[in-house]
Amino acid sequence: MDRNMKEKTVAYKLEYGTFSGWARTINLNGKFQWARVKNTKLGQTKKGLNQNSVAKRLHQNAYIRQVKSENISLIPAQDAFMDGSVMSSHSQKPLASFADILSTQSKPLSKKLVWFHSICAKLHDTSSQISKCIHIPIRRKYVLEDSMAVILSMNPTELHKKWIFTFANEEGIDAGGITREWFHLISTIMLDVASGCWKGGGGNQMHLQIHPFYSVSCSDYQLYFRFLGRIMGKALLDSQLISNGHFVPYLYKMILGWPITFSDLQALDAAYYNSLLHLTEMDEDLLTSQACLDFTVVENVMGDVRVVELKEGGKHMNVKKENLLEFLELILEYRLVKRVKDPLRELLIGFYDVIPESLLTIFDVQELELLLCGLPNIDVDDWMYNTEYSGLYIGDESHHVCMWFWEIVREMNEELRARLLQYVTGTAGVPSKGFSELQGSDGDIRKFSIHGIELKHCLYPRAHTCFNRIDLPIYESKDDLKEKLEFVISLVSTGFDLE
């Protein structure tokens, strides 16, 4: 068969496939592959970008992380492939085919988990093992050091066994409670921003991102992040929770192998993102005479100013209209990957030490956050009390559409509420002091906001995660609002971006 024919995609598509105009498909070699698609129902081009070819192409292009033992980089989404089957590590026989994954990924999360754990139980042959459990003694005073020493020395079979923890000089049998306590303790330590390895994403305290100057605070960062990756994978495997583990969305995409787009910069630094977008609006004269950019970035590391070339010879290359797209895409790769490439690579490798990459394809980005961090405790009264109203609803919070909205929220189950919160704010995390402390991407307090718009301008609710705002058209019935709201929530949870 002709090689080009082999690489053509089959008419199988994962239900959660469309993300910013990209869909995950199955090619004739049985591998997952992302392909460019057009959504005829909602459209895929952001408003205002049609007349600007650079900005339009910037938001349409997507990239997948490529992890190698010594490096991690971004490659075009259409050039990334992933095995469509899950293989046994001891027999190299398939445990699940792409057909199994296709039939599972459209099921409710609870049924996905049942199937997920059934496959995980078969990953390693334990029939010849004397014990299916590993006893791990930990000194409470040295919980991190002891845990790293034991878990980093484990082989794949041991990572899939049941871990039983004991704290030195403490009575008690681990029937599950001590394990939960250990996961809470270790993840709280590992994800503490005071460690210098993490910082809030774009000012939002609920969004953790790898600190670009991680090596200043953590000399053994490679072991640190490899260990953390294993802990996160083990938590997913054993249905445990990671405390404080609400990451910037692009990190979840990195784990799942989802497309990275230019919009992912916004969650890291909204002001910087907007300044880059402004470059696409400049004509040639302004770009060269006022911006005066070359293919470098300047970093200030503890007072040490460093000039980093985005490509070889970058300091001798001026940014012009003709190479602006290349410059912006190199900025994207630098900010999301290159300046944190070592810890990011170790985190992913550690995660895949426990969970096969292809097995993760049944989950979407929102589900992964919910599985690792747990369903949030959402107080609807607090949510409603700390909501602001704007647009056509300003000064009229008793408008019938607003009242319908809150009635629908109260009727939702916990998972749907969490997905709605993710859709509007970008995360399922609720600040410890409640919705009154909700932050925007700039770090300022930005309460949840319902913005009224006319139905003729927008048929579906639309989120602005930087401002924690949902644009809510004036619908004629509660049923219509409920249908449209649940539709966009399902699209976002399946990877479709309405922005």
**Cα–Cα distance, 3 to 402 (Å, whole number):** 56
**Cα–Cα distance, 493 to 424 (Å, whole number):** 12
CB 463 within 8 A of CB 485: no
Counting every residue written for the chain, the total comes to 499
β-pairing verdict for 448-453 and 462-464: unpaired
**Cα–Cα distance, 204 to 250 (Å, whole number):** 14
Q: CA of 99: how far to CAs of 28, 85, 86, 357, in Å?
A: 13, 9, 11, 16
Residue type, 108: P
Is-catalytic flag, 466?
yes
Of 114, 120, 113, 119, the closest CA to residue 160 belongs to 120
**Cα–Cα distance, 387 to 381 (Å, whole number):** 10
Q: Largest Cα–Cα distance of the chain, in whole Å?
A: 74
Phi then psi for residue 253, to 5 deg, are -65, -35
**Residue of 197, 373, 402, 466 with catalytic role:** 466
Q: CA of 460: how far to CAs of 41, 43, 93, 373, 426, in Å?
A: 11, 12, 46, 29, 18
Q: Which residues are catalytic?
A: 466
